[in-house]
Amino acid sequence: MTPAIGKRVHMEPQTIHREDIVRWINDFAQVVAVNRDHLTELDAAIGDGDHGVNMDRGFRAVAAKLPSVGDKDIAQILKTTGMTLVSTVGGASGPLYGAFFLQEALSSAGKEELSLTDWIAMLEAALNGIIARGKAAIGDKTMLDALAPALQALKDAAIRNATLAEALTQSADAAQDGMQATIPLVARKGRASYLGERSAGHIDPGAASMYLLLKTAASTLASG
């Protein structure tokens, strides 16, 4: 039976599968390559100018590794991503993004597909993993300041019974707002904190890469 046209909106994918996770990470590797110089310029303003280079090195290594785990489950794919980042990225962002993916792996253990609720639990675990690793608080002008509002937006969307696509889009928008909101902040963690008050007036590079990661999740995962 052909579904009525008006029902098409309900046929959007409401779950995320293993192949979607692989696409998300591969797509992000390309986004990082395209934005490498932009991220590095942001880091040149308040850090040591290597964030784009660090992220590109790490995600190139991840993209090279993914074919070997393409048939493994979601948790294995995320774990390999996290371990590869930890071992290839020298800067602060390597262990922190490593923690993000390793905690997502633990949170998704044994799952064949992910619902919006699962995705929220994974991002919450990722946020807590970054906090456990880097000891930063929200408002310290770090990647957390893009991730935390994105997580909140996902929770709000779930309460409103939003579709997966809507929720992911709203979380990307919140991450973008959070990234912009790092501009006036004074950095209290990482290299930018060495600048003290002079770190104000610039976007935090890690918040910018985190926004790109969540924006890529919206564009890749919402399209199914």
Smallest separation (angstroms) from ligand ADP to the CB of 144:
6
Smallest separation (angstroms) from ligand ADP to the CB of 115:
28
Interface with Mg ion, residue 12, by CB under 5 A: no
Which residues inside 8-67 make contact with ligand ADP, applying CB under 6 A?
43, 47-48, 50-51, 54
Residue 211 has, within 13 A of its CA and on its CB side, a CA count of: 21
Residues 187/201, Cβ–Cβ less than 8 Å: no
Alpha-carbon torsion (8, 11, 14, 15), positive or negative: negative
Residue 189 binds which of ligand ADP, Mg ion, none (CB < 5-8 A, kind-dependent): ligand ADP
Which residues inside 28-87 make contact with Mg ion, applying CB under 5 A?
43, 47-48, 50-51
Smallest separation (angstroms) from Mg ion to the CB of 204:
11
Residues 74/218, Cβ–Cβ less than 8 Å: no
Strand partners, 16: 114
What is the number of the residue whose Cβ is closest to ligand ADP? Answer: 206
Q: How far is CA 33 from CA 5, 28, 146, in A?
A: 39, 8, 20
What the block records as the tokens of 221 is 């995962």
| E strand or H helix that includes residue 113 | strand 113-114
Question: Binding residue for ligand ADP (CB under 6 A) from 191, 211, 218, 222?
Answer: 191
Question: Binding residue for ligand ADP (CB under 6 A) from 66, 74, 96, 214?
Answer: 96
Smallest separation (angstroms) from Mg ion to the CB of 36:
13
Residue nearer to ligand ADP on the CB measure, 111 or 133: 133
